[in-house]
Amino acid sequence: MRRVGRPAAFRLPLLLLPLLAACAGAPPPAPPPPPLPAPEVDSCNAAARSGLIGREREALERQLILAPVRVIDPGDAVTEDLMPGRINFYIDAGGRIARITCG
């Protein structure tokens, strides 16, 4: 019967170690980031300007608006920064104000 020497006895566990590591499960996924806070219901007083919906975009030029304003045309790139006091005027393909939101 052949006797296994000490160097060979240490090599076998070292060779099996990578196989054992490969069997370990993947780490759990990171938790999702917290949701963005919802804007306040009418933080920019958009309801007071609801009479502009359906009017031509030029109607905005005749309004005195003492707040940050963003006019968004169809296909415009829009940043996702949240400014509750800002008024967003969405313009439709016909050049009319389609909706008004805060943010």
pTM of the model: 0.59
Helix-strand-coil percent breakdown of the chain, rounded to 5? 30, 15, 55
Mean pLDDT of the chain: 83
**The domain spanning residue 51 has which CATH number?**
3.30.10.10
Q: 8-12, 31-35, 72-76, 87-91: which has the minimum mean pLDDT?
A: 8-12
Nearest-angstrom CA–CA distance, 60 and 52: 8
In a domain, 63, yes or no: yes
Domain count for the chain:
1
For residue 93, is it within any domain? yes
**Per-residue pLDDT tens for 29-70?**
888 888 876 655 788 989 999 999 999 999 988 887 888 999
